[in-house]
Amino acid sequence: MIPNPIRKVLSTMAARQVRARLMGGQACVFYGAAEFSRDADLAILGDEDNLRCLRHALADLQAEGVAVPPFERQFLQRGHAVHFRCQHPEAKGLRVDVMSVMRGVDAFPILWGRRTTVEDADGTSFELLSLPDLVQAKKTQRDKDWPMIRRLLEADYAAGAQQVPTRQRREFWLREMRTCELLIEVAETNPDVAQDFLHHRPLLAQALSNRRTELEDALVEEEKAERERDRVYWRPLKAELEKLRRIELQK
């Protein structure tokens, strides 16, 4: 069951008709890859109408801005996360982080169309980032995100083994699987699909030929390249945050 403070945040967002999807650690819990998180991470639509609804929801939660950047559309559109701390008794101390743009992740209307809706034990519905989009959002320079990607794929593969997986699901495994043994297994049982994806993920050649050592090395290099792309993406955004912090300190 989702923790009560986060339930309060999500129910408030729903009551204020905020177009938002849960992501981050709490979304990982729903997908079977538990991750402890005291934050509520939300992907939101960054248009004026939705931000107006979000302001009302934040007021209901007695949420105050934390650090920089300020809650302005321009910063959300550039890819920054905006942070808040709730003071409402039912969610006191909970941090809420919102983002509208993420590196390598599709625009909100596309994400919204393929969102996942889940029900808690009491029948309450929650909107989540879809599993493939959550995996993409987790491809950061942070050490903790890569083991989580691995666990998310392993959990989905285990769940898929209980049924006949769709081609779309098999493609997802071949595109994102990070567990060497499982990637070889998926490639060997779906050679035609793996061949189709060689241009997208060349290391599938090692999986198809069962070259484990080479595959493990290729997975490490793939992760390093993705981390570097994330560092390059965030470099100007971090510089902007530092500038905003200096301005705040001078006030």
Mean pLDDT of the chain: 93
What confidence score (pLDDT) does residue 113 get? Answer: 93
Antiparallel, parallel or unpaired: β 125-128 and 82-85: unpaired
Q: What pLDDT does residue 25 have?
A: 86
Q: What is the pTM of this model?
A: 0.92
Average pLDDT over residues 177-185: 97
Give pLDDT tens digits for 19-72. 999 998 889 988 887 666 678 999 999 999 999 999 999 999 999 999 899 999
Give 62-87 pLDDT, tens digit per residue.
999 998 999 999 999 999 999 999 99
**Cβ 124 vs Cβ 11: under 8 Å:** yes
- In Å, the largest CA–CA distance within the chain is 62
pLDDT at 162: 78
**What is the model's pLDDT at position 173?**
97
Mean pLDDT of 103-126: 88
**Higher-confidence position of 119 and 46:** 46
Q: What is the mean predicted confidence (pLDDT) over 107-130?
A: 88
Nearest to 189 by CA among 179, 199, 181: 181
Q: In which order are the strands placed within the sheet that holds 95-99? A: 64-66, 82-85, 95-99, 39-44, 20-23, 125-128, 116-119
> Torsion-angle region of residue 7: left (phi > 0), alpha (psi -120 to 50) or beta?
alpha
| Residue 35: predicted pLDDT | 65
Domains and CATH numbers, the chain: 4-134 (3.10.450), 145-232 (no CATH)
**Cis status, amide bond into 69, omega within 30 of 0:** yes
Tens digits of per-residue pLDDT, 126-179? 899 999 999 999 999 999 999 999 999 999 999 987 788 999 999 999 999 999
- Smallest CA-to-CA distance from 12 within 45, 69, 61 is with 61
- Could you tell me what percent of the chain has a pLDDT over 90? 82
What is the 3 state secondary structure string of the chain? CCCHHHHHHHHHHHHCCCCEEEEHHHHHHHCCCCCCCCEEEEEECCCHHHHHHHHHHHHHCCCEEECCCCCCHHHHHCCCCEEEECCCCCCCCCEEEEECCCCCCCCHHHHHHCCEEEECCCCCEEEECCHHHHHHHCCCCCCCHHHHHHHHHHHHHHHHCCCCCCHHHHHHHHHHCCCHHHHHHHHHHCHHHHHHCCCCCCCHHHHHCCCHHHHHHHHHHHHHHHHHHHHHHHHHHHHHHHHHHHHHHHC
pLDDT of residue 2: 65
The upper half-sphere exposure of residue 25, i.e. CA atoms within 13 Å in the direction of its Cβ, equals: 13
